[in-house]
Amino acid sequence: MPTLYHHPMSTASRFIRLVLSEYGYQPELTEEQPWEKRREFLALNPAATLPVFVDDNMRALCGPMVIAEFVDETNGVLKRDRRLLAEDPFQRAEIRRLTEWFLQKMEGDVTRPLVRERIFKLQMTAAQGGGAPDSKMLRTSRANIRQHMKYLSWLAGSRTYLAGDRLSYADLAGAAAISVLDYMGEIDWNESPAAKEWYQRIKSRPSFRPLLAERVRGLTPVSHYADLDF
């Protein structure tokens, strides 16, 4: 059975779990603590980053876009109007641009530092970099949320889906990032009604249910996290 090495609070991992579910994959999930840098995991991915997808032939695919592109190239054409990477080259470029925005730009500005300070450092030893959250890092990351939410609201308010008229990788990447922040209660939804309406539609999809059911040791999600109508 294919295996996906992931972490429940990793945006990239959540993105790939949504992609695989939308395309009908049901891999075995193996939770990985990337800061531990296990020898067995490094053998699969020397970069020690998540996610890593191992197929039935024990071939490892490392990184969210590598995995997403592979899944589309091998299964996308069979999905026809439910394909998550459009056939039109310009539309594909826009989907890739926005997917990269959420997995890299927003990840670096907001999601990764908040997850590290609020979740990972509580599970890490002092030697691994664990300890009390860095208040300056928290303030900086939280200050960046508002600008990212403004952009997300503009996209959601001006298009049916983030990259156009159809659900795409861009929506799954955006929803993966937002779901991590929402779990931690970092989003003021009153300031972003258009983004909220879009997120309600995405989190109502069957592929999202496993994410909404998960809980992370040491941190309880906000009360509305699993509600489809919040």
For 28, the 3-state DSSP assignment is strand
The whole-angstrom distance between residue 101's C-alpha and the CA centroid of its chain comes to: 12
Model pLDDT, residue 230 = 87
Model pLDDT, residue 78 = 84
Classify residue 224: in a domain, yes or no.
Answer: no
CA atoms within 13 A on the CB side of 15: 32
Domain with 134, as residue range(s), is 89-206
CATH number for the domain spanning 64: value is 3.40.30.10
Both 133 and 111 in one domain: the answer is yes
- Report how many domains make up the chain: 2
Both 104 and 199 in one domain: the answer is yes
Grade residue 214 by pLDDT with cuts at 50, 70 and 90.
Answer: very high
Model pLDDT, residue 217 = 86
Q: What is the DSSP string of 7-25?
A: -TT-HHHHHHHHHHHHTT-
Classify residue 53: in a domain, yes or no.
Answer: yes
Model pLDDT, residue 183 = 98
Both 107 and 190 in one domain: the answer is yes
- Rounded to 5 degrees, φ, ψ at 115 are -65, -40
Both 121 and 40 in one domain: the answer is no
Classify residue 216: in a domain, yes or no.
Answer: no
Q: What percent of the chain has pLDDT over 90?
A: 92
pLDDT, one tens digit per residue, over 115-172 is 999 999 989 998 999 999 999 999 999 999 999 999 999 999 999 999 999 999 999 9
Classify residue 230: in a domain, yes or no.
Answer: no
Both 37 and 70 in one domain: the answer is yes
Average confidence score pLDDT of the chain: 96
Both 113 and 75 in one domain: the answer is no
Max intra-chain CA distance, the chain: 50
Both 9 and 96 in one domain: the answer is no
Classify residue 37: in a domain, yes or no.
Answer: yes
Mean pLDDT of all residues in 15-42: 96
Both 179 and 199 in one domain: the answer is yes
Mean pLDDT of all residues in 34-53: 96
Classify residue 217: in a domain, yes or no.
Answer: no
Model pLDDT, residue 13 = 98
Classify residue 78: in a domain, yes or no.
Answer: yes
Cα–Cα distance, 137 to 55 (Å, whole number):
38
Both 66 and 94 in one domain: the answer is no
Grade residue 80 by pLDDT with cuts at 50, 70 and 90.
Answer: confident
Residue 24 burial by Cβ neighbours in a 10 Å radius (0-12, 13-18, 19+): exposed
pLDDT, one tens digit per residue, over 167-181 is 999 999 999 999 999
SS (HEC) of 82-121: HCCCCCCHHHHHHHHHHHHHHHHHHHHHHHHHHHHHHHHH
Mean pLDDT of all residues in 97-105: 98
Classify residue 214: in a domain, yes or no.
Answer: no
Both 53 and 131 in one domain: the answer is no
- Rounded to 5 degrees, φ, ψ at 52 are -130, 130
Cα–Cα distance, 137 to 117 (Å, whole number):
8
* Nearest partner of 46 among 30, 29, 63, 31, judged by Cα: 63
